[in-house]
């Protein structure tokens, strides 16, 4: 007589299509995590379309595909969408999904705050895009420097107001999520999951949350003061006020925000390298210490975005030194990753390829960061295409490669199915070539004097370089299209993964794929920072019934 298999709860069949009422009301961290990630990927596509418009406009000198005002709106929308609505939201989403499982918890500490925090994000996104309905969307760059954002220079249009409101809502959401992550990690760890045994991705989330908790409020403050100026006629940042104060407030948020976007990617890399090299992470404690070094230093460097506004040279020297010191903890992490892979038996799966893509490109972003930190050199490179190239090496070559590695790595856990490997390989190689083709030669434009955020240029010498960049950027778009096709196809038709397709080290691989609503029937014992590997080696690991039947 066959044993009766209980039907799985309706919410957790593997299909993406679930009742809308469930999506709207669920407090399950996994479904909220999926909603975060899907929202962010939609933003990624929208932000990417803006990028392609920018590249078309710049592909040749003196083009007029769009006019200057539209260009300024598009360039702003690209930055706002990618930074606020894509990368930050994606890393929040993947942490929302993974952190509770990795520490052996059943959910986040405040499930309803979690749901509210998520739903503030679509509100924030819609608020921002309402600016386009007014015909005068925000046009002062994602940094929104005053006094250009003040009423006097905006013809009393509402685009800036929608942007400021959107950012305030976004900051509140980020503060909620950070509080929730910290409480969850401190209070809901499984028995045996000491701080010294937390997976490095969880440590990354602790450091990210601390950062966002500290710097979210100054960002909201800057936006509120700006709105006071615009709506109540105060004079904080106007031409008659103190425009540079805005820059201080904004960059006190803005620079740590870079680390809010990259630290989770560091965490993802630290999870993936040991699994596919079949070696434990090299220097666990120094990895954790390095992350906190970065957290501390990142809050002491903001004025390196302001080396041309005319600050006392000794103060500039301080910010230069602190900025360069970030290379030390980052270097520790880099060398530890290489040492983890050294002597390994590396399986170059798609996630591992993205990890090495990350290492190869993020290094360039790190090195150009040293040039930019040097005050004299920065006065040349600041606000030029060199900076645009640098920040994309950090944000795309760093964060986005890390995110893609994370998606290929955790997609089987989230959906129960593997992403198609052949499409994944194509995705990796096309995006790697397209990315470097776009951004490597972009450095040279900045060195030759092309400022960022100009809608066109008259210099014919820049035409060929810009054309190569534009063609390469379309290769990136093609690659992302392959990625999207892969995700959509594999979600329902991919190869069934089983609970542990990669022979992972951490707790998320101990449960079924996708995990049940309560995550674990019984939380496995935790004896080190690689609890699952301990169980596998001691023979205690019981293979779970596959949650999905093969197609």
Dig out the tokens for 24 from the structure: 């709207």
Kindly state whether residue 423 participates in binding other proteins, applying the rule CB under 8 A.
Answer: no
Coil, helix or strand at residue 151: helix
Among 145, 292, 426, 474, binds other proteins (CB under 8 A): 145
Which of 115/375 has CB closer to other proteins?
Answer: 375
Kindly state whether residue 155 participates in binding other proteins, applying the rule CB under 8 A.
Answer: no
For residue 417, report the phi and psi dihedrals to the nearest 5 degrees.
-130, 150
Kindly state whether residue 437 participates in binding other proteins, applying the rule CB under 8 A.
Answer: yes
Q: Is the peptide bond before 147 cis (omega within 30 degrees of 0)?
A: yes
Size of the residue set binding other proteins (CB under 8 A): 102
Spatial separation of the C-alpha atoms in residues 390 and 376, rounded to whole Å: 17
Among 135, 348, 538, 542, binds other proteins (CB under 8 A): 348
In the complex, minimum distance from the CB of residue 21 to other proteins, in angstroms, rounded to a whole number: 45
Answer left, alpha or beta for residue 129, where phi above 0 means left and psi between -120 and 50 means alpha: alpha
Report yes or no: 412 and 490 within 8 Å, Cβ to Cβ. Answer: no
Spatial separation of the C-alpha atoms in residues 394 and 259, rounded to whole Å: 10
Which of 8/242 has CB closer to other proteins?
Answer: 242
Exposure on the CB side of residue 335, measured as CA atoms within 13 A:
8
In the complex, minimum distance from the CB of residue 506 to other proteins, in angstroms, rounded to a whole number: 16
In the complex, minimum distance from the CB of residue 319 to other proteins, in angstroms, rounded to a whole number: 11
**Residue 149 C-alpha from the chain's centroid:** 26
Spatial separation of the C-alpha atoms in residues 150 and 272, rounded to whole Å: 46
Kindly state whether residue 380 participates in binding other proteins, applying the rule CB under 8 A.
Answer: yes
Kindly state whether residue 376 participates in binding other proteins, applying the rule CB under 8 A.
Answer: yes
Spatial separation of the C-alpha atoms in residues 261 and 387, rounded to whole Å: 17
For residue 496, report the phi and psi dihedrals to the nearest 5 degrees.
-65, 135
Degrees (nearest 5) of the Cα angle 86, 59, 84?
A: 15
What residues from 293 to 332 belong to the interface with other proteins (CB under 8 A)? 308-310, 313, 316-317, 320-321, 324-325, 327-328, 331-332
Which of 46/273 has CB closer to other proteins?
Answer: 273
Kindly state whether residue 259 participates in binding other proteins, applying the rule CB under 8 A.
Answer: no
Among 16, 195, 342, 518, binds other proteins (CB under 8 A): 342
Among 47, 48, 104, 147, binds other proteins (CB under 8 A): 147
Taking each helix axis from N to C end, the angle separating 463-493 and 401-415, rounded to the nearest 10 degrees, works out to 10
Which of 118/203 has CB closer to other proteins?
Answer: 203
Q: Which residues are paired to 137 by β-bridges?
A: 159
In the complex, minimum distance from the CB of residue 388 to other proteins, in angstroms, rounded to a whole number: 12
Kindly state whether residue 292 participates in binding other proteins, applying the rule CB under 8 A.
Answer: no
Kindly state whether residue 65 participates in binding other proteins, applying the rule CB under 8 A.
Answer: no
Dig out the tokens for 460 from the structure: 């014919």
Which of 221/324 has CB closer to other proteins?
Answer: 324
Q: Is the peptide bond before 514 cis (omega within 30 degrees of 0)?
A: yes
Among 27, 59, 234, 383, binds other proteins (CB under 8 A): 383
- Number of other residues whose CB lies within 10 A of the CB of residue 40: 25
Which of 25/308 has CB closer to other proteins?
Answer: 308
What residues from 3 to 62 belong to the interface with other proteins (CB under 8 A)? 62
Which of 25/379 has CB closer to other proteins?
Answer: 379
Kindly state whether residue 456 participates in binding other proteins, applying the rule CB under 8 A.
Answer: yes
């Amino acid at each position: 007589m066959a044993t009766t298999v209980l039907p799985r709860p309706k919410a957790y069949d593997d299909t993406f299509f679930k009742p809308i009422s469930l999506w709207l009301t669920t407090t399950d961290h996994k479904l909220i995590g999926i909603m975060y990630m899907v929202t962010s990927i939609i933003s990624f596509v929208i932000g990417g379309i803006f990028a392609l418009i920018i590249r078309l406009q710049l592909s040749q000198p003196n083009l007029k595909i769009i006019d200057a005002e539209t260009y300024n709106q598009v360039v702003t929308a690209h930055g706002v969408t990618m930074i606020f609505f894509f990368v930050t939201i994606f890393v929040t989403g993947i942490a929302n999904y993974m952190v509770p499982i990795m520490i052996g918890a059943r959910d986040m500490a405040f499930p309803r705050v979690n749901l509210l925090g998520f739903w503030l994000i679509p509100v924030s996104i819609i608020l921002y895009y309402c600016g386009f309905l007014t015909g005068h969307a925000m046009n002062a760059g994602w940094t929104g420097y005053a006094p250009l954002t003040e009423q006097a220079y905006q013809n009393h249009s509402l685009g800036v107001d929608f942007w400021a409101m959107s950012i305030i809502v976004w900051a509140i959401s980020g503060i909620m999520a950070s509080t929730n992550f910290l409480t969850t990690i401190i209070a809901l760890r499984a028995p045996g999951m000491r701080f010294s045994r937390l997976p490095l991705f969880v440590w990354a989330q602790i450091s990210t949350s601390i950062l966002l908790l500290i710097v979210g409020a100054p960002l909201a403050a800057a936006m509120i003061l700006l709105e006071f100026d615009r709506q109540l006629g105060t004079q904080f940042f106007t031409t008659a006020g103190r425009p540079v104060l805005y820059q201080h407030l904004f960059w006190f948020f803005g620079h740590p925000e870079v680390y809010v976007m990259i630290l989770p990617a560091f965490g993802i890399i630290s999870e993936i390298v040991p699994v596919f090299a079949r070696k434990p992470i090299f220097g666990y404690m120094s990895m954790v210490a390095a992350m906190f070094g970065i957290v501390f230093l990142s809050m002491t460097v903001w004025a390196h975005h302001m080396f041309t506004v005319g600050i006392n040279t000794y103060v500039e020297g301080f910010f230069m030194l602190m900025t360069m010191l970030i290379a030390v903890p980052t270097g520790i992490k880099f060398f530890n990753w290489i040492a983890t892979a050294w002597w390994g038996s590396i399986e170059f799966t798609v996630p591992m390829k993205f990890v090495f893509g990350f290492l190869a490109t993020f290094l360039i972003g790190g090195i150009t960061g040293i040039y930019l930190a040097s005050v004299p050199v920065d006065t040349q490179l600041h606000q030029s295409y060199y900076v645009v190239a640098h920040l994309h090496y950090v944000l795309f070559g760093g964060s986005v490669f890390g995110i893609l590695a994370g998606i290929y790595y955790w997609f089987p856990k989230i959906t129960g199915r593997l992403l198609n490997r052949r499409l994944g390989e194509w995705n990796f190689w096309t995006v790697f070539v397209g990315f470097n083709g776009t951004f490597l030669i972009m450095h040279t434009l900045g060195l030759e004097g092309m400022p960022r955020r100009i809608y066109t240029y008259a210099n014919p010498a820049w035409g060929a370089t810009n054309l190569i960049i534009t063609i390469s950027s379309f290769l990136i778009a093609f690659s992302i299209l392959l990625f999207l096709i892969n995700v959509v196809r594999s979600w329902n038709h991919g190869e069934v993964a089983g609970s542990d397709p990669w022979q992972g080290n951490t707790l998320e691989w101990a449960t079924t794929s996708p995990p049940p609503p309560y995550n674990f029937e019984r939380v496995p014992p935790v004896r080190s920072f690689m609890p699952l590997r301990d169980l596998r080696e001691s023979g205690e690991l019981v293979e779970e019934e596959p949650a999905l039947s093969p197609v």
